[in-house]
Structure 1
């Protein structure tokens, strides 16, 4: 199985068929109201007849295709999307993932506050966060987040022995 086939299988598992069918029917209704054939939309967008037909039938499509079809129909995509949907995430965040996100935000706040004007170790940051937020979390999570900030050039990481020290850019 090729990578593209694998990705397509993965995407197929997660598509929202109800939303795609609803949008496809709306696009078809607008096309008919505008007295256009599928082939007309194909010419106007540069997409194949089958691509337009697939969109109208609720098949998976890219956001770029959807936008271009809306433009060809003379309608803003947000207007086309004005449909009642149940707005609910497919999955909830686990408490562990939620805490890691909060930890990232807390470290970002330390960066913005000037805390890293002096070089800080992971242990320094962990102690500081523990004192401020009265929480118990693993320093390895802090270490991963600090390393991520260093790779995005938000912090500078320097080695001191076996430890990394992080300072403001």
Structure 2
């Protein structure tokens, strides 16, 4: 994955922190002493370089300003990329299986193909049993469902 940083936002936040520091009549060295961070760390934050969120928060605290005040800037709240249709459908599938769990559908043991058929009938979804099985196993790992084996088939039920 390519490293990403929003340079415009980082520079804006850095300028706001610097303005707060100057308003408090502090030098970078003073802020470094208050935070325990190096001069270069403070300098880099103020100049829009990448930093840790905890560093940003500590600098705000040391300046006596709430981080939300520094972050109160106009932002484009849309994601960088659209959610691929396949990912969106898998998220919906997980939610629909969760609804089945909450509705007591799994009070009796069900196979992945049973669940797939139910979803196909109820929601007109066209998924393979293996996609459903992966999600069911996640619910088993999170201790929401039990799993039992009959031959080579897995059956799922609520605890």
Q: TM-score range by the shorter chain?
A: over 0.9
Match of 2:51 among 41, 61, 64: 61
Moved more, 135-144 or 28-37: 135-144
Q: CA deviation at 1:162?
A: 0.6
Point out 4+ residue stretches in structure 1 off by more than 2 angstroms: none
In terms of fraction of residues, the more helix-rich structure is 1
1:10-38 Cα shifts (integer Å, max 9, x gaps): 56x31111111110111001111111111
**Partner of 1:140 in structure 2?**
130
Match of 2:93 among 88, 103, 112: 103
Q: CA RMSD in A?
A: 1.2
Q: CA deviation at 1:117?
A: 1.4
Gaps of 5+ in 2: none
1:34-75 Cα shifts (integer Å, max 9, x gaps): 111111111111111111111111111111111111111111
Match of 1:36 among 26, 43, 66: 26
- Give SS of 2:8's match: helix
Query: Following the alignment from structure 2 to structure 1, what is the Cα–Cα distance between the partners of residues 132 and 56?
Result: 41
**1:162 aligned onto 2:152:** yes
**Partner of 1:90 in structure 2?**
80
| TM-score, length-scaled by structure 1 | 0.90
Match of 1:48 among 31, 38, 41: 38
Match of 1:118 among 108, 119, 126: 108
1:113-168 Cα shifts (integer Å, max 9, x gaps): 11111111101110111111012122221111111111111111221111111111
